[in-house]
Every structure is written in structure tokens, then in C-alpha cells.
Structure 1
């Protein structure tokens, strides 16, 4: 069931999103060659706790960690671990924060040191595709408009969009209806309504969009071993356009 959020609920989720955005801002200066994704996990846990918030992913469907840290060919849901990150690695840090009962969800990609031009292109295209999808998150548009904008741009740049994982509704639970695919046809799917809270989180691959699962049951990899990138915002559908809730320093609508 899709629930439309009140102005009070959206404001609460904006406060949660500010906490989450602050974590990502601090990670920019923390991530460098020589650290581990377990160091990132501990760093994130402390910041969330210091803000009086809760790392909402811990315990969700049995997941044990505050973060998903996916490295290089890992598409998503990578476990934090003690392998050292090297110069040129690409990591994606995905997390959910609960603050005063309100939820937010965001993923950002980080270059570890200096990445190759090919990986920088992957990062740039993925981030731009997310914002092109956000532009379509307007009252009266359809869900397919979001996915079509993302897919068309990504494929024009010679990359591919993952099909197996999608955006979603959010609040007060981490995952709610509707699903928000990052591919599809314009003019198709449910109409977007004022008060809907959704995530837009394209996962973009250098090679095939197809994936394979790790035996751990959580982590997804690209089937061909080529690298993957992801960016994600939580946003509200408002009469004035999409309102980003996980973007510190961005005021008003997109």
C-alpha cells in the first residue's frame, strides 16, 4: 500500500536526511587508500550515534551492519570487511538513518585516491542519471518517466542500467511501495502524487547489466566482473517539484 506523507512527516524525514547527508559529507575526507571498509563502518556508526540517530539497516531482514560498502564490481549490499582499499578503487557507501522515528536512505560513490578516466566517466554518468531521474519526479508524471530518462541517458553513454534492484517508497519503513525502476518506457506506470516519498538510486555498469549473487545471500556482483557505480537520494513529490531530503546544502526543490 502506498501512503502519502503529510508536511509534518516530510519535515521529519528531512531532518533524518540531514543527518545522513552529514555522514556522507564527512566520509569525503575520511576515505583514502590504506583504510578498510570496516574502518568506514565504524566511522559511520559513531557519527550516527553522535547525532542521536539509529543505523536503521542493522537488523533489517537480518543484515548485521550500519553500511553496505560495495567495492568495484560489487553492485550493492557489500559487507564491510578488513581488506585494505587501494588507490584507484571505487566504493559505494549505502546506508539508512532513523532519526526521531523518521527514515532516510542514501548511497554515494567515492573514488579511493585517483581513479582512471573510465571509472570517472562511470561515476559522472551515474550521478547525472540520478538527477535526470529526479527531474521527472513531478506530480502527474508516471514512474516510467523516471526510468526512461535514466536508461536513455546511461545507454547513450555506452553503459548499462541494473534491472534487478530498484528504487522504492520509504517511511516509516525502509522499503515501501511503489517500486521505482531505473529503466522503462515513458508514459507508463503509476502516476506520481503529491506526498509520495521515494528513492531514486540508479546502479550503472560498465559492461552488462546482468548480475550474480554472492553465496552470502546479500552481495550482488556484475556478471562480467566489470565495475559498477551507484548514487541515491530520498525525495518527496511536492506540488512545486521534487524535494531532496538527503542533500545537505541544497535548499528547496531540485
Structure 2
């Protein structure tokens, strides 16, 4: 969406702050032995307690699609995104876990994700997480009115490759604001100066997804969970941002 009304911007900020607070709480509880279902229940209750609604629960991209059954995506190890939480999905030491959450506050949607290590994790996986986080930071630093979508993707992919990893090319970031997923697409790759020109007031969800070596992915039979093709772990970070004249404002910044 493109937004300019100050009252609407404030609602979007509230949505993003609510999300950031809840995601931080969920991340703190992501420890060995807890189930993905418990994390999902925590996320939903905390969103509702703050006056928001879970944006993902019941979401369908089209009428034929299975509605997403939870409020929180919990993606463990080789699960790249959209992992469905359930009681038998237990976090274990050595795992890397992606936590992806969306909030609807009075009709204004925000979306964010982080990847966290569970207990002691090997150094290569910590490098993967750091590279994904760094890719997001470098991608965001390309955002200002007059730059292009391709500038974001170029910075994300270059950061990933320089760190020895690859980006997922079949999934993208997206516009957000009045619904969970909107145009435009925001890929994790691109060419500088190409793609849609960024304009003040645009609201985007930028989300690098990094794999170890193989960029390919597989779609699971549950209709939602996306996994790496080679079974190796992945990492995923995401922020919702507002494009400004001179740069950007992160709407979902959590103190992690």
C-alpha cells in the first residue's frame, strides 16, 4: 500500500510495535523442550491482549487454498517459511527456528520474522543466521524514495553470497498494509537501478531467506510449509518498513 494520512500511519506504527513486542516475547520462550504449539498460543494471546488480531490465522491466498491454521509460523531447521506449529513439533538444542508473525490492528497489517538458535548451535548455523540478519540490514539501507526494488534485492543477495550462502529465489518479500500480502513483490535478488521505483509512503515487507548452498525449495503436502530442497537448514528475517523521502522507517523493530 501507499500511505500518507498521519492517522493511518499511526495505526500502522501501532500494529508494528505490537508485533515487535510479541515477537520478542515469543523469541525469549523459544528454548529446548517447548512445543511450537505453545509458542503459537503465546503469540495469539499476547496479540489479543494488546487489542490486535493475528493476521495469519485463517489466511488464504485464494479460495482453493487451505486456511493457515495458526497465528505464528514456526519453521525448524530445513523449513524455510510457513511452518505450521503443532504440539508434537518440539524445539531441541541445536535447532535453528524461524518465527514469523503478522498483526492486524484496526485493519492495518504488519509482518516480521526472526531466526533464533536453540541452545548450543554449531558455528556454521550461527554464521547462516548472522548472514540473513546482515542481508536484511543491507537491503533496508537501499530504501529511499527514488531507489528501486532491484537495489534492495541486489544488496540482499550480495551480502548472502559474500558470506558463503545463497538466497531463495522462488519466494519474495511483498507489499503490506491493508492486507497481509500485497503488491509489489520484493525479491531477495535483483539488479541495481531496476524494478519498481520506490515512492514515499510505500509499505513493504522485506524478508531475506537464506539457504546453505542450494537455493531450491520444496512445498510440503500440508499446503503451507516450505523446505529446502537439499534438507539443509535455512534462516529468515523480515521487517515491515515505511518508505520515506530520505530513507525508511522500520515499523516492526524489536529489541532483540
TM-score tier (shorter): over 0.9
Could you list the runs of 4 or more consecutive aligned residues of structure 1 that deviate by over 6 angstroms after TM superposition?
A: none
Distance in 2, Cα, partners of 1:194 & 1:141: 11
Match of 2:193 among 184, 187, 200: 187
Report how far residue 75 of structure 1 moved.
0.6
Distance in 1, Cα, partners of 2:45 & 2:69: 16
Match of 1:84 among 77, 80, 90: 90
1:118 aligns with 2:117: no
Structure 2 counterpart of 1:24: 23
Report how far residue 49 of structure 1 moved.
1.2
Structure 2 counterpart of 1:14: 13
Instruction: Please list every run of 5 or more consecutive structure 2 residues that lacks an aligned counterpart in the other structure.
Output: 61-66
**8 Å contact 2:24–2:255 — kept in the other structure?**
no
**8 Å contact 2:150–2:192 — kept in the other structure?**
yes
1:155-234 residue pairs with structure 2 within 5 A? 155-234=161-240
Distance in 1, Cα, partners of 2:13 & 2:36: 27
Instruction: Please list every run of 5 or more consecutive structure 1 residues that lacks an aligned counterpart in the other structure.
Output: none
**8 Å contact 1:5–1:197 — kept in the other structure?**
no
1:10-89 residue pairs with structure 2 within 5 A? 10-61=9-60, 62-82=67-87, 83-89=89-95
1:94-173 residue pairs with structure 2 within 5 A? 94-173=100-179
**8 Å contact 2:81–2:226 — kept in the other structure?**
yes
1:18-37: CA deviation from partner (whole Å, max 9, x where unpaired):
10000122123211101111
**8 Å contact 1:142–1:190 — kept in the other structure?**
yes
1:221-240: CA deviation from partner (whole Å, max 9, x where unpaired):
10001110000000000113
Secondary structure of the residue aligned to 2:240 is strand
How many residues matched? 249
Secondary structure of the residue aligned to 1:164 is coil
Alignment CA distance shift 1:5-1:249 (3 Å):
farther
Secondary structure of the residue aligned to 1:60 is coil
Report how far residue 111 of structure 1 moved.
1.1
Distance in 2, Cα, partners of 1:233 & 1:46: 22
**8 Å contact 1:6–1:195 — kept in the other structure?**
no
Distance in 2, Cα, partners of 1:156 & 1:238: 29
Distance in 2, Cα, partners of 1:50 & 1:156: 42
Report how far residue 3 of structure 1 moved.
3.6
Secondary structure of the residue aligned to 1:23 is helix
TM-score by length of 1: 0.95
Across the aligned residues of Structure 1 and Structure 2, the Cα RMSD in angstroms comes to: 1.3
